Structure formats: structure tokens, C-alpha cells
Amino acid sequence: MAGAEGDDSLYPIAVLIDELRNEDVQLRLNSIKKLSTIALALGVERTRTELLPFLTDTIYDEDEVLLALAEQLGSFTVLVGGPEFVHNLLPPLESLATVEETVVRDKAVESLRKISQEHSPVDLEVHFVPLVKRLASGDWFTSRTSACGLFSVCYPRVSSTVKAEIRQHFRTLCSDDTPMVRRAAASKLGEFAKVLELDYVKSDIIPLFTALASDEQDSVRLLAVEAGVSIATLLPQEDLEALVMPTLRQAAEDKSWRVRYMVADKFSELQKAVGPEITKTDLVPAFQNLLKDCEAEVRAAAANKVKVFCENLPEDSRETIIMTHILPCVKELVSDTNQHVKSALASVIMGLSTILGKDNTVEHLLPLFLVQLKDECPEVRLNIISNLDCVNEVIGIRQLSQSLLPAIVELAEDAKWRVRLAIIEYMPLLAGQLGVEFFDEKLNSLCMAWLIDHVFAIREAATCNLMKLVEKFGAEWAQNTIVPKVLGMANDSNYLHRMTTLFCINALSGVCGQEITTKHMLPVVLKMSTDQVANVRFNVARCLQKIGPVLDSSALQAEVKPVLEKLATDQDMDVKYFALEAISGTFPFISLTFET
Amino acid sequence: MLSPVLCSDLAALEPEYTEADVISTVEFNQTGEFLATGDKGGRVVIFQREPQGEYNVYSTFQSHEPEFDYLKSLEIEEKINKIRWLPPHNPAHFLLTTNDKTVKLWKVSERDKRAEGYNLRDEEGRLKDLSTITTLQVPVLRPMDLLVEASPRRVFANAHAYHINSISVNSDCETYLSADDLRINLWHLNITDRSFNIVDLKPENMEDLSEVITVAEFHPHHCHLLAFSSSTGTTRLCDMRARALCDQHAKLFEEAVDPSRRSFFSEIVSSVSDVKFSHSGRYLLTRDYLTVKVWDLNMENKPLETYQVHDYLRTKLCSLYESDCIFDKFECAWNGTDSVIMTGAYNNYFRMFDRASLRDVTLEASREVCKRRAVLQPRRVCVGKKRKETDVSVDSLDFRKKILHTAWHPKENIIAIAASNNLYIFQDRMAPNGHHNTPEIQSAPPK
């Protein structure tokens, strides 16, 4: 009996183990994902001696399987017998750290970093550090790149002799022959610097940083920029000027636009790292240059940072710097030749108003907003409109409304439906800022016009927009302004417009409440049940199901039920189907007697 | 002296080869240990060099299949236009192959172990009696016969509206370019759904079209430099550091044509059919219909050296135009030390030029020589009367037999020549293995 019981519990595990080598990738993947179950069944001893050696050699598999394996092994410590035995996990992870697929290698490194913390200091030196050294001096660049990510996790926990060796290995990798390894080293330089003693940062890291930042390959140089930012945060203020700034200045003027782009992209981090004094003396002119760069990609990246840069300027001189140094550049960017630059600027420029205050905004920024609102590129206009809330807080939106309206109208009628869709999505926000009167006067007609757009996505968004507007302005407003118009469309000669009425009712019934729905909407829906177009009829059925919960039970029984029953005998298959569906959804206690 | 080490006849069993067997590209890997060929049937054959020096078939796989573009109602041929090896990553080998539209990254790897031991089945696959299973068995790996597998790793599709003519791997080892008639795109090797357009020659109005891109190649060391040539006979060098879009070139290599010698064929024969950077990165080798030229990157206005490949055809351009031969795209190659250049010609001849001694030689790739394993003898094409028994008259050249694709081992004097469905590999027997010296090129016999 005991044996038979054993078989029963073994069987599912046996299947899992066999499927580790199934021909179907999906089954192998499933098995790997349940590796912990297998290990649990085998016990710690057999996991160490049989399962792990097998896994170490299965690196032939598909990437997704290897990825899952690399991830699993990161949390396998308990299953091999706890921290005491954690080093048994190193061989399979080592072989995974050398495969060609970057995602797998990265995951293996991540798991290695994780389990490194579970090594005792002794095990770290006896097992983990030798692995790092093997990877660092491997024949293939794949293993050397993986090594770069492992130095920083073992450095703090090893003896000073081993520390010296680790630093030496890192130095070697920074001057590796292959650019891939130098890139990996450059990207881990900042992280490694953080765990080093300050003296070594100055004596070891700074020369490496300088060398990588002047590498012959710009793909390496650009990664050094980010490392520079991290290093700058580690050094005392008085050392920055001598040790880091010359290199960073050089990067900001690099011949390669990709390096300058990186500087622009990391500018706010850089600003925080170097502090207010260097910001004033160095970063302001550098930022001006980036805003005027000859490459549009760089200007766009810098333009994106305008607001954050200005926000983080030292308070005592913020306004002066913005007004005398930054704003002139921004003014030029407003009429840039490249639309990406303009739209990047448009997405942040409104934020300047909170920094500069009411008077400056009216005098200096407002003209720029107005220019951008009239820009030929719809994305620029959209970005301005989508950030109106910042200006609203400072000067109120009325100042802008004169120019805002034509811009909105133009976007609302743009030939590209995606542009129209984008502006619809901002409507509820605009309505909230502009207030109900302005809205009724100027924008209401636009919102109704979208309901009869020839693109379905626009009609659908317009429907949803109405619902959000009612949420803002209330049911009474809805009853007076939009409900009559929506219901009027029920008599339209175009069946698509008639269906729009139904879709609007679907969306509005909930927010309008029972009274409006029962009194005004329901009669229209019921009347449409005799529409000659089948699509309208089955949408009536769907609509009735949708608004059912809003209606009271007497209306349901007296009015809805007979109509649905009639639709359930419709000659059109789809109408019948949706009517039956609606009946079973709305009246769950009625058995379906119409099926014949 | 060159003698054959391999004459691979890919259609040896059939006397008549089919169009699909015609080799369309030849490329050595970085070490020269492997050689890949692609053919019109979309197949890739990889040869490995044995310790004795012979190249044997290592792996064969179908890289591209014929496809149909339903939107444009166009057939997409499976023909392999170019193959480029990636720098070695790990024990496996990686290569990019392309047809007219789609670039693929292939991995060729070896497997010598196999898992054994199932719980529920025996090794023949029969289900075991469940009651006999009392313990769990973990599979173990056992050695097996070496198996070479080729697996597609990435497919880079849908980025080219025109036919891809070149691919080139950047020295940063993470990007590569693909060029079609009008545009050059830059790809990251790990990203297949996005590429950046770095050169675009397409005019607003296609009627203003005056030139097409014929070849593009990255500089061997500087990751920011690329060269591309056009049908008008110019080669442009672009610096990717300067701008994201490289429509404006950094340098333009063009030789002024004497207006008095202009003819109807001038532009056609000046169209550049191949561009190769020298291994040193200092020079550019360009091939047009009648010549190969060596350019110094520092001198744009004229080539450093010009070699006539088959000047005797200058009087035959009219008939070559009628037979479309004038549009043949010959490739060219440098030897490992940049001292000798090689390019193909008609009648299964290929030419080598020694840059230092200015000596040149015409050799023939033929099956007879291969069978005898003899040393290649120089050939001479003569215009008019034959001076020697072995001379060949221009009029008897076979223009259907052309050597378009050639490759030179990166370090040694081993060359690979594709002539229709045949691949010839010749080796300099005088040179000891691994020793760098220029091949002995015998000058043409005295007149």
C-alpha cells in the first residue's frame, strides 16, 4: 500500500522531470517554471548532486526557457539546503551568464547578485569571487560583460587583498579590446564607484572614467556620461572641479551628437549631483549650448529638460538666470525648424509659468504659448493644450481663451483622426478649467459634432466624452443641453447616427440617473426596437440590457420585457441572439421559453 | 602560386545545374576558419577549414524562402544577396543573411551531449509500467555524435521599400546597417521591430531621381564612419557623429571624367558595383565595370591607384549593353595585408593586382585545374591576332561565365571564387600556414 501511495505522489513530479526535455518548448517552459516543485520532491541532496549538474549543461535550450531558468535559480537557496550550500547554484548560473542572448545573461547576473548576498564572507571569497574572476578573464566577451555587473556586490564584503584584485580586474575590463565589454564596464562604473572607498574613487575610478569618456567609440563615451553623474554625487564639492568637471565639459561639447544627447538627457541628474555653484558657472552655459545644438535630437532632449532645470536652479538667482539666459534660447526654440523639438518644448514650457509668476508669465511666456498654439504641427498644439492646468493656476485660463478656442476648433476638425481623438480626450479637462458657461457657448457644438464623425473611434470617444462631461457638470445640465440633442439623432436617416444615440444612452444612463433614463431615454430606445435596420434592433436589445439596472422594476416588467420578448422572435439571427442574451441578463428568473 | 584546395560542385550529381544552385555571395568569417556561401535558392552553406587546410561542409541550412507581398503584388525572391559574419560572441557562430527584403540573424552551434533517462518511458519511448516507478530519476547528459544546428535568432523585416543590396556590421558590435536602392537603415542587433533611417536619397518626386545606392559599408574600426557608393560613380563617406541623418556626406570620392571621352555608356560603366574598406581602414577599394580603384580616405579628388580589369572590353560596350552584361555587379576584395587586390571578370577569369610591384595576373577558375590539383597558370586575353598558343582572343570570351563574387581569407593567402554553381578555393602553396606574405603573382610573359 505504501508503495502505491508513493507512486501516486511521484507521478506528477515524474511528468515534470520528463518534460524538462520534451520537444515542445511550452512544456519545457512549464516544467522549468515549476523547478522548485521538482527540487522539493528530490530533496536538497539530490537537487545538488543531480538536478543542478543537469541544468548546468542544458544551455542549448531556447532563450525563453533559459530566461526562466536563470530567474528560478535566483530564489533557489532554500531548495539546495540554505546559505551553507548556496554556492552549488553558481555553476548553472555561470554557464547562463555566458550565453549570447543579452536578456538571459542579464537575468543570470541579476540572480547571481541576489544569491551573492546569501553567501557567507568566507564562501564569497572561496566560491563567488573565483567565479567573478573566471568570467572576467573569459575568452568570450559575453562572459566578460557579465562579470562587470558582479564586482560591486562582492567588493564590500571581502578582505583588502581580494579588494585589490577586484579593482585590478575592473581596470582591465575598462580597457578591454571589445567595445561591448568597455560598454558594460562603463555602464557599471557608477555603481562600482559607490561601493569603493573614497580614496580609491579618486585614485582608481577617476582615471577609468576619464579614459572611458574619451574612448574612440562614441557608444562607450555616451555611457560614461551617466557614470560621471554617479561619481559626482560621491565626491566632496571641492574635488568636483578638478576631477570630474573637465571630462563632463568635454562630453557636453563632444563631436558626436549621441554623447551630447546623453548629456542633455541626464541634465537634471547632473545638476543635482554637482550642486548650485557649478550649476551657475558651468551648467547654465552648457545648457544654453545644448538648446542651440546643431542636431535636432539634442535640442529636443534639452528642451524636454527646460522646466526641471529651471525648477532646480538655486532660488536666489533663479529668476535672473531664467530671464537672461534660458528664456532667450526658449524663444528661439518656439520657432525651431524641427517639429520634435517644438513639441518637446511644448510639453514642458507651460510649467515655467509657476516658476516665473504671474507678471513674467503674462509678459514673456504668454506670447510663446500663443505662438505654439498656432503651430502648424498638431502635436505641438496638443502638448500645449494638455498642460493648460499649470497656466490656469497662475494667470487663469481666460487670458488664453481668445487664442485657445481657434486652436481647439482647428484640432477638433483636423484631417487626421488620431489628432481629433487626442483633443477629445482633453475635453473633460478643458471643460473643468473653462467652466460650464464658456463650455456651453463655445465647445458644446464641437462635442456634438464628433458624434457624427465618419470614424467610429471618434464617435466612440465622443460618447465617452459626454459621459465624463456629465460627471463634471451634473445631470441637470445633461438634461438641458445634451440629452435632447442625443435623442434627436434617433430620427436621423443614417442608421450609424441612430446607433450612436443608443451608444450614448449606454454611456449616459448611469451618470444621468433613474429619472432621466426612465422618462426621456427609455421611450426613445423602445421606439427604436422597430427600426428597419437589424443592427439598430440588436443594439436596442444590448442597450436595454445595459440600462436595465438603472430602471425600476415596474418599468422593466411593463415596458422593457414585452419589447425584448418581441425582439426575441425577430427574423434576424443576431437580433434574436442579443434579445435572448438581454432577457437572461435582465430577468434571470425567467426561463427561456422562446428558444423554439 | 595558387592551387586549388577545394572545388565544391554543389550540383555534382546532376549534369545540368538549376538556377537555384547559382552562388550569390561568398564570405569568410573573422578568423578565416569558416566560409559561408549563399545561393539563389535561399540556401546557406558553411565550410570549415580542417587542420590539413581543406575546407569541408560544416552546415547547410535554408535561410530564406520565396514569399509574396500581397499588398504590392510582388514576388520576393529567396536569393541570398549578402552574408556577413558577426564578431565571435561565444563558441557558436553568428551570421546575418539577407534577401531583397528581410535580414536574418542565424546562430550555428554544435551540440555533443544528449540527455538520457526518462521516468515514465524507457529509452525507446515505450511507456513504463507505473507500478515499477518507485523513485524519481533526473536525466543525465551523455556524449553523442557532434551535431551542428543552425537556428534563426532574429528576423529584421519590413524596413525596406526597395531591394536590399548590402548589409554591414558596425565595429561597435551592436549595430549593423542595411542598404537598399534609396535608403540606409541602422539596426540594433537585439531589436527587430525598429530601425533608424540614416540616409535617404528618395526625392520628393520620383521623376527627379538621378542616382541609386549600390553598396554601403561600415569602416572597420571607426564606428561612426560609413561609406556608400552610387550609380553615378561616386562614393560618399558619412560621419554619424555629426548628425542623426547622414544625408549630407563628410567626404565625396569622385574622379572627374574627361568630357571629351564621355559617351552614352560613361555613366553606366562608372556605376560602382562594390566598395571595400582596407583592413587598415585607411583606403577604400571601389569596383566599376572596367576598373578597380584604390582611394585614400584623405584624398577625395582622385584615386590613388586605378587598375584596368578588362580594358579590352571598352570597344565592346555596345554588345555588352545589348546582352545586359554591362549591368553585371562585380565584387572586389583585399588580401589580409592590403597589398594585393582581387576582382572577377568574364570567361571564369579573375584578376589580381599587386599594389607594390604593380604586377597583375589573370587566372582562371576551371574544373579541369581542380581535378588535376595543378598550379594555376596565368591567362592572357589578346585583342586581334594571337601571339601565343595559350592566348585567348577577346571574341572567344564566354560572357555567360562570370566571376562576380570573390572573398579573401582575412589572414592567409586563401581565396574563394564563386563561378555560377561552383565554389573554388585556391591556396598559396608556397606560404607556410599562418605566415603572412603576399602571393607570388607572375607577371605577364614578355611579349
Confidence of residue B106 (pLDDT cuts 50, 70, 90): very high
Q: Say if the Cβ atoms of B121 and A18 lie within 8 Å.
A: yes
- The grid cell for B330 is 562585380
Vertex A395, ends A390 and A399: CA angle to 5°?
A: 110
Smallest CA–CA distance from B175 into chain A, residue: A219
B243 to chain A, any CB pair closer than 8 A? The answer is yes
Residue A109 confidence class, pLDDT cut points 50, 70, 90: very high
Q: Which of A335-339, B42-46, B275-279, B384-388 has the lowest mean pLDDT?
A: B384-388
Q: What pLDDT is stored for residue B444 in this prediction?
A: 29
B30 at A interface, C-beta within 8 A: no
**Distance, CA of A257 to CA of A299 (rounded, Å):** 10
Check whether A394 has a pLDDT greater than 90: no
The beta-carbon neighbor of B133 closest among A7, A142, A256 is A7
Q: Which residues make beta-bridge pairs with B108? A: B93, B150
Q: How far A79 CA lies from chain B's nearest CA (Å)?
A: 16
**Residue B434 Rama label (left phi>0; alpha psi -120 to 50; beta):** left
In this complex, do B92 and A42 lie within 8 Å of one another by their Cβ atoms? no
| Cβ contacts of B174 on chain A, cutoff 8 Å | 179-180, 183, 219
Query: Where do we find the cell 610573359?
Result: B445
Interface test with B, best of A218, A222, A297, A340 (most B CBs within 10 A): A218
- Is residue B231 over pLDDT 80? yes
Would you call B91 and A140 a contact, using CB atoms and an 8 Å cutoff? yes
Kindly list the residues from chain B whose CB atom is less than 8 angstroms away from the CB atom of residue A297.
244
Q: What is the pLDDT of residue B54?
A: 86
Please name the residue that has the C-alpha cell 498638431: A378
Cβ <8 Å between A141 and B140: no
* Among the listed residues B311, B313, B304, the one whose alpha carbon sits nearest the alpha carbon of residue B286: B304
CA–CA separation, B177 and B175 (whole Å): 7
Q: Which residues of chain A are within 8 Å of residue B130 when distances are taken between CB atoms? A: 7, 11
Q: Where are the beta strands (DSSP E) in B282-378?
A: 283-287, 291-296, 305-308, 332-334, 340-344, 349-354, 360-364
d(CA A201, CA A207): 9
Cβ–Cβ gap A179/B171 under 8 Å:
yes
Using alpha carbons only, how large is chain B's radius of gyration in Å?
24
Contacts of A216 in chain B (CB under 8 A): 221-222
With 0-12 / 13-18 / 19 or more C-beta atoms within 10 angstroms meaning exposed / middle / buried, residue A55 is buried
Residue with cell 573637465: A246
How close does chain B come to A316, measured CA to CA in Å?
A: 38
Cβ atoms of residues B236 and B251 within 8 Å? yes
Best mutation target among A5, A13, A60, A176 (most B Cβ atoms within 10 Å) is: A60
The cell for A519 is: 422618462
How large a percentage of chain B has pLDDT more than 70? 91
Q: Does residue A340 sit at the B interface (CB-CB below 8 Å)?
A: no
Q: What is the DSSP string of A356-422?
A: HHHHHIIIIIHHHHHHHHT-SSHHHHHHHHHTHHHHHHHH-THHHHHHHHHHHHHHHT-SSHHHHHH
Residue of A21, A102, A257 lying closest to B139 (CB–CB): A21
pTM of the model: 0.82
Model confidence over A217-269: pLDDT tens digits?
999 999 999 999 999 999 999 999 999 999 999 999 999 999 999 999 999 99
Cell of A579: 434579445
- Which of chain A's residues have a Cβ under 8 Å away from the Cβ of B140? 50, 54
pLDDT given for residue B128 in this prediction? 76
Q: B-chain residues within 8 Å CB-CB of A100?
A: 89-90, 92, 94, 107
Q: Which of A:62-91 have CB within 8 Å of B?
A: none
Count of CA atoms in the C-beta half-sphere (13 A) of B433: 8
Contact between A14 and B133 using a beta-carbon 8 Å cutoff: yes
In chain A, the residue whose alpha carbon lies closest to the alpha carbon of B150 is A60
Q: Considering only residues 222 to 281 of chain A, which have any Cβ-Cβ distance to chain B shorter than 8 Å? A: 255-258
pLDDT digits over B167-218, tens only? 999 999 999 999 999 999 999 999 999 999 999 999 999 999 999 999 999 9
Cβ proximity of B224 and B240 under 8 Å: yes
Cell numbers 569558416 label which residue? B34
Task: Give pLDDT, residue A553.
Answer: 83
pLDDT at B446: 30
Between CA A68 and CA A199, with CA A184 as vertex, the angle to 5 degrees is 120
B437 residue type, one letter: N
Which chain B residues in 278-307 lie under 8 Å from chain A, judged by CB atoms? none
Nearest CA distance, A66 vs chain B (angstrom) = 14
CB contact under 8 A, B138 and A51: yes
φ, ψ of residue B434 to 5 degrees: the values are 80, -5
At residue B16, the pLDDT reads 61
Could you tell me what percent of chain A has a pLDDT over 70?
A: 97
Percent of chain A exceeding pLDDT 90 equals 61
Question: Would you call A15 and B111 a contact, using CB atoms and an 8 Å cutoff?
Answer: no
pLDDT of residue A558: 86
Give the length of chain B.
447
| Distances in whole angstroms, Cα of residue B24 to Cα of each of B44, B221, B274, B286 | 10, 27, 14, 19
Q: How confident is the model at residue B71 (pLDDT cuts 50, 70, 90)?
A: confident
- Which of B115, B138, B244 has its CB closest to that of A46? B138
Nearest to B138 among A42, A258, A297 (CB): A42
pLDDT range class, residue B46, cuts 50, 70, 90: very high
CA distance A565 to chain B (A): 47
Across the range B361-375, mean pLDDT stands at: 80
Asked if the model's pLDDT at residue B81 lies above 90, the reply is yes
Q: Hey, are the CB atoms on A10 and B134 less than 8 Å from each other?
A: yes
CB atoms within 10 A of CB A236: 7
Chains A–B, number of C-beta pairs less than 8 Å apart = 109
Give the CA dihedral A416, A420, A425, A430, nearest 10 degrees: 140
Inter-chain touch A54–B224, beta carbons under 8 Å? no
Kindly state whether B250 is in contact with chain A, defined as any CB-CB distance less than 8 angstroms.
Answer: no
The identity of residue A275, as a single letter, is G
Q: Which residues pair with B45 in a beta bridge?
A: B37, B60
Beta bridge partners, B2, equal B428
Q: Do A218 and B91 touch (CB under 8 A)?
A: no
CB neighbour list of residue B350: distance below 8 Å, 6 or more residues apart = B342, B343, B344, B362, B363, B364, B365, B403, B406, B417
C-alpha–C-alpha distance, residues A171 and B341, integer Å: 40
What b/e readout covers B222-251, taking b as 16+ CB neighbours within 10 angstroms?
Answer: bbbbbbbbbbebbbbbbbbbbbbbbeebbb
Q: How far is A216 from chain B (nearest CA, A)?
A: 8
Q: Residues of chain B with pLDDT > 90: what percent?
A: 66
Q: Is the pLDDT confidence value at A503 over 80? A: yes
Contacts by A21-26 with C-beta closer than 8 Å and gap 24+? A21/B115, A21/B139, A25/A62, A25/A64, A25/A65
Per-residue confidence (pLDDT) for residue B11, from 0 to 100:
37
Residue B144 phi, psi (nearest 5): -145, 175
Residues of B in contact with A10 (CB under 8 A): 119, 133-136
Q: In this predicted structure, what is the pLDDT of residue B97?
A: 98
Reported as a single tens digit per residue, the pLDDT across A36-95 is 999 999 999 999 999 999 998 877 778 899 999 999 999 999 999 999 999 999 999 999
B172 part of contact set with chain A, CB < 8 Å: yes
Residue given cell 550569390 in the structure block: B24
Higher pLDDT, residue A301 or B264: A301
B90 near A CB under 8 A:
yes
Q: What is the pLDDT of residues A305-353, one digit of tens each?
A: 999 999 999 999 999 999 999 999 999 999 999 999 999 999 999 899 9
CB atoms B130 and A11 under 8 Å: yes
Residue B441: the pLDDT is 35
Q: Give the CA-trace dihedral at B297, A219, B200, B291, to 10 degrees.
A: 30
Task: Give residues 533 to 552 of A whose Cβ lies within 8 Å of B.
Answer: none
Q: State the average pLDDT over residues B400-424.
A: 93
Residue in chain B lying closest to A2 (CA)? B134
Alpha helices in A196-338, H assignment, sequence order: 198-200, 206-213, 218-234, 237-243, 245-252, 257-265, 267-278, 284-291, 296-304, 306-311, 318-321, 327-334
Determine, for residues B138 and A54 on separate chains, whether the beta-carbon distance falls below 8 Å.
yes
Cβ–Cβ of A7/B130 closer than 8 Å?
A: yes
Mutate to test the interface with B, among A257, A260, A299 (most CBs of B within 10 A): A257
Radius of gyration of chain A (CA): 33
